[in-house]
Amino acid sequence: MDSVPTRTGSRRSTPRDISAISRHSSGYFRASGRHGFSEDEITAVKKHVFETEHPILDYETNEILLQRFDANADMAEAWIRLRSGRALSEDYLLLEHELAELIYMSEIPGVTYQQAHRFIQEKFNWDKVRPSSRGEDFESDGKWQFCCM
């Protein structure tokens, strides 16, 4: 069963986030000239961001560790907006960034997350336009909750 991240990065099961994000993205004009993101693309991005272990350089030990990305509240909030149909243009840029990053990492053996991230930032720089936290949370009843700002 699919799951959607909460504001703190934990996930709650829902079978609808993939199809909802794909459906809601249909009006977004992508850099590739296509409109929206397919369910396969959203599934791949979700797995890349929330589930897959990646080679990540540990700056303290200078070792490459295989691990999941740290929880990121801004990314979780973007996923919530994407799922609910209230996405900002910056949220679609995040999807473009993560999709390009996962493709790059799959095509270049041995590349670390940091190397892929730096390369992809040249074209899809979500960090530069990342929206500030809005304290968004999507509860099971589908209503928006604002907390703790």
Alpha helices, H only, 1-149 = 17-24, 39-50, 73-84, 89-107, 113-121, 126-129
The letter for the amino acid at 141 is D
Inter-CA distances, 12 with 8, 55, 89, Å: 11, 26, 25
Taking the C-alpha atoms of residue 20 and residue 137, their distance in angstroms, rounded to an integer, is 16
78-124 tens-digit pLDDT = 999 999 999 999 999 999 999 999 999 999 989 999 999 999 999 99
Between 3 and 118, whose confidence is greater? Answer: 118
137 phi and psi angles, rounded to 5 deg: -150, 140
Taking the C-alpha atoms of residue 133 and residue 76, their distance in angstroms, rounded to an integer, is 10
pTM of the model: 0.82
8-67 tens-digit pLDDT = 444 443 557 999 999 999 999 998 999 999 999 999 999 999 999 999 999 999 999 999
pLDDT surpasses 90 at 141: no
Look up tokens 């560790």; give the residue: 65
Domain count, the chain: 1
Look up tokens 């004009």; give the residue: 29
pLDDT at residue number 133: 80
Q: pLDDT-derived band of residue 139, with 50, 70 and 90 as boundaries?
A: low
Range of the domain at 107: 3-146
Between 143 and 34, whose confidence is greater? Answer: 34
